[in-house]
Amino acid sequence: MKIVILDGYALNPGDLSWEGFETMGDLIVYDRTGPEERAERIGGAEIVLTNKTPLDAGVLGACSSIKYIGVLATGYNVVDTAAAEARGIAVTNVPGYSTPSVAQTVFALLLEICLHPGAHSEAVRAGRWIASRDYCFWDYPLLELAGKTFGILGLGSIGKAAARIARAFGMEVIAHSRSQTAEGGEYAAYVSLEELFAQSDVISLHCPAFPETGGIINRDTIARMKDGVILINTARGSLIKEQDLTDALNTGKVYAAGLDVISEEPMRPGNPLLGAKNCIFTPHIAWASKESRKRLLDAAVENLKGFLQGRPVNLVNSVPAPPGSCKSRE
């Protein structure tokens, strides 16, 4: 059985092992795969694994041997699942692996905004403290989180993890979510979307990218927020109208933003946020701690094992594993 990983570098740049997949077939790993290389590289493979390399109907039609696609991520919009289902191809994803890492990144961004440790460290290295007439100095307002209101848009597993951390900092936690559960109510007080915007000192985005959430942070919704609100986005870049956020940052309506995701990745030179005041970025790495990537890899291996054994898990379409369709080496 031939197994092809189309874009393995982001998940495993060399600090993890592909051994789990190697035990199940003849494995070929490509660091990256361009659009024109997809069909040729898949060739006669029965198992295809992808992180961000799109697998559309054209590619699936050109690669008739595919029986299984494992998405090495939670989001699976890179695969045309309807076309896969029509061809009897099972598609799986890996939910929940990155929760601790993403929640940690929320507060890495927030604490950088509040205290600027990186910038102050560089100032010390530049000799500013040595030359200081006082025993201390600071170049930015220093903000305390205790007593402020932390608003969560989307109270799923990551939102709940962020809520726990916010409470540990002494923050009041409120949330707006499509569904309200008794469990969620233990982490945050549910409020309407309008109340979330009006009451929050910090808004952290944790909702999926649905048509109804696209551009949910825009000129109109920002106008309903507190003056000086802080915005954190570790979810999806499409949730924010970037020019509107840029304008709000430059006028001071939004005090600061910490963004791990943007609308088009990698970032393009003309992105308006590059010229925004008080906007800090991480390059979509909230998911990428070694521990998180190890959980992802292990889960992806288990997904494939389940499929080969006729007990598929984490399916995102309705194609079951045909008995005996693929033979594992185990």
Q: Check if the beta carbon of residue 259 is closer than 8 Å to that of residue 273.
A: yes
The SS3 assignment for 282 reads: coil
Burial of 44 (0-12, 13-18, 19+ CB in 10 A): exposed
Per annotation, catalytic residue among 116, 236, 293, 295: 236
173: part of which helix (H) or strand (E)?
strand 172-176
Asked if 284 is an active-site residue, the reply is yes
Phi and psi dihedrals of 108, rounded to 5? -65, -45
User: What does the block give as tokens for 96?
Assistant: 């929940």
Per annotation, catalytic residue among 116, 284, 293, 295: 284
Residue among 18, 170, 161, 185 nearest 99 (CA): 161
Indicate the length of the chain as a whole number.
330
Asked if 236 is an active-site residue, the reply is yes
Asked if 41 is an active-site residue, the reply is no
How many Cα neighbours within 13 Å face the side chain of 250? 12
Per annotation, catalytic residue among 37, 194, 265, 291: 265
Catalytic residue numbers read 236, 265, 284
